[in-house]
Every structure is written in C-alpha cells, then in structure tokens.
Amino acid sequence: MATTYSIIIPAYNENKRLGATLEQVFAFILSRQWDAEVIVVDDGSRDQTPALVRGYARQHPELRLLENGRNRGKGYSVRHGMLEASGELLLFSDADLASPIEESAKLFAALEAGADIAIGSRWLRPELQKKRQSPLRQLYGRMFNLALRILLRLDFKDTQCGFKAFTRRASRMVFPSQRIERWGFDPEILFLARRSGLKIREVPVAWSHVAGTRISPLRDGLRMFGEVLKIRWNAFSGRYSLPAEEQARE
C-alpha cells in the first residue's frame, strides 16, 4: 500500500549509532503525524545492525529492514531502498544524521513546490554548518566539485551531501539506470536526472561533521574521480540507454 513519505537509511556496521538515529526519526514522524515508512538497508553488516533493526521493527510497524546479503556499497544500498519504497516522496539520509531529520521538511517542501529532486547543500549557506570538516577534506571536496563541473556539467555547490529527496516519478526515472554502487553514485544520479530533464533544486540544510566517517579523502577521492570518468564513458558509449533489465544482467 502506498504511503506519502519514505525515508531510506543505508547502513553498514551502524549498531552503535543507528538506535539513536531511529529514535529521532520516529519522534519526528510522530510530531508531524506523517504517513511514512522508514527503510533501513543493511549492506552486509558484520555487527548487530540487522538484529537492532528487527528489534525496533517489532515496536514500529512503519520500519522495514532490507538486506543486501553482502557488502555492495552505499550507492547500491540507496538504489535498493529507493526501488523498494512505496512512498510518493522519498528521501535518503546518512545513518549518522549529519543533517538532522527535521531538515527533511525543507526538501519535501521543495518537491511539493514543483521540483522533481531536492538535494541538501552544505555550501549554499555555510553558516548552517555546526561543525565543519577538516580543511583537507574541504579542499578535496572543492577539487571534486570542480571536476564534476568540468566533466559532467553539474553546476551544484554540493553533490555529496547524503541527504536527497525525490518524487516517486523521478526515482523511477533515475535509479533503474544507476550503475555506480559505491561512494561515487551521487553525481551519477544527478547526471542521469539532468539527462532526463528533471528539475533539481539545491536546498541549504543544517549539517554537522560526525566523527567516525569511513571515507578516506585521498583513497576514496581517487576512486570517486575514477567513477566520474566512468560516468562520462557510460554516457559516451550509450550504456545508460540500455533497458533496465539488460543493465541488471551486466
């Protein structure tokens, strides 16, 4: 049965902080009296993340657990959750709630005002950042953003904030064609959305750097740059024009 809102949370070894995140999400949904579902996509966690989610699901019927079976990557997890969601408006959020769940109202408002996709931005209003990343991480981020502008023509201030919302129609147009399964999936879904003529709105959101991130600025930055080149190659070679079922077989 369709719901109004779907909140998708990709999770990998998040047993220590996911409980607090779910409590905040449930409290917010209740305060808004939203018709909503919460989907946690477990990416092959080796800790007690799935058991924790199952425990919460017994008390919260609006919570669902999806399991990838093995570690596939954040991009795969987001796609899995988006394509299984039943909501008319869909949001994915990092498990650490670097952007508070209350900020989701801004993104959903942008969708209701006519956008197909609303992406949270840390840099439209930098003063909303309560705790910034280190100068080195910020430098790598700026360099990556410049590469996206040059190679993919993505003229957004922030593509990597893990806080994005989609109409159901937009999600069904974008995610079946997504091919990047790890950290570089954000620019790919925005690139695909632009190719499809979807209206994307960048929305300033509150954000705070959370210690314990698994991203290595140098190692993962190089990998993400390689994935940007792969996006350009996929577009040039026509791979994004393949039917969804044929892409899934590759």
* pLDDT score of 245: 41
* pLDDT score of 187: 95
Is 248 a residue whose pLDDT tops 60?
no
pLDDT tens-digit series, residues 65-105: 999 999 999 999 999 999 999 999 999 999 999 999 999 99
Q: pLDDT category, 31, cuts 50, 70, 90? A: very high
pLDDT tens-digit series, residues 132-179: 666 777 667 777 888 888 889 999 999 999 999 999 999 999 999 999
Q: How far is CA 137 from CA 16, 147, 235, in A?
A: 24, 15, 29
Q: In what order do the strands lie in the sheet with 3-11?
A: 63-67, 36-42, 3-11, 87-93, 163-167, 117-121, 200-204
Q: How far is CA 32 from the centre of its chain?
A: 22
Contact 92, 37 (CB under 8 A): no
Is 219 a residue whose pLDDT tops 70?
no
Q: pTM value? A: 0.89
Q: pLDDT category, 235, cuts 50, 70, 90? A: very high
Q: pLDDT category, 250, cuts 50, 70, 90? A: very low
Give percent of the chain above pLDDT 70. 89
Give percent of the chain above pLDDT 90. 71
* pLDDT score of 218: 57
Q: Give the C-alpha separation, 48 to 63, whole Å.
A: 17
Contact 122, 129 (CB under 8 A): yes
Q: Give the C-alpha separation, 233 to 212, whole Å.
A: 33
User: Pairing mode, if any, of strands 200-204 and 163-167?
Assistant: unpaired
Q: Which domains does the chain have, with CATH numbers?
A: 3-249 (3.90.550.10)
Q: Give the C-alpha separation, 25 to 183, whole Å.
A: 24
Q: Give the C-alpha separation, 100 to 104, whole Å.
A: 8
User: For all residues of the chain together, what is the average pLDDT?
Assistant: 90
Going by C-alpha positions, the residue among 157, 192, 158 that lies closest to residue 82 is: 192
In the predicted model, what is the mean pLDDT of residues 24-52? 97
Contact 93, 18 (CB under 8 A): no
